[in-house]
Structure 1
Amino acid sequence: MVDITSRVARAVEDSQIGDGTVTVYVPHTTAGVTVNENADPDVVRDILSALEHAVPWRQSF
């Protein structure tokens, strides 16, 4: 997982737009975007654990 918060914040600041919404788009079939609070570091671990359980990394298809 890659935290892009600072990159998005910088892009918003550089745009000089005061109000609005931000859309993050990932044009790849094996990528995704999650939005979650960053207050608890266990959140990332829990997400990765659930994904590993649902779709094992070393699974051969």
Structure 2
Amino acid sequence: MKVTADRTVCVGAGLCALTAPAVFDQDDDGIVTVLAAEPGDGDRPSAREAGLLCPSGAVRVVEDAE
């Protein structure tokens, strides 16, 4: 899994940081920052949920090809 965030699209809702705090945070302006671009197994479900919840579509989660 690879996690990215488009900081130019982020509206600062904070759902990503609330849903997956080990993967996402917010800077002083409330804009998303990625803490773990390749989350561990335990953080993958919350990272997926954060990607679905992001209102602006700034968070992107790409699953590994198997």
- State the TM-score, normalizing by the size of structure 1: 0.28
Structure with greater proportional strand content: 2
Q: How high is the TM-score relative to the length of structure 2?
A: 0.27
Q: Which of 1 and 2 has higher RCO (CA within 8 Å, sep 6+)?
A: 2
The structure that has the greater radius of gyration is 1
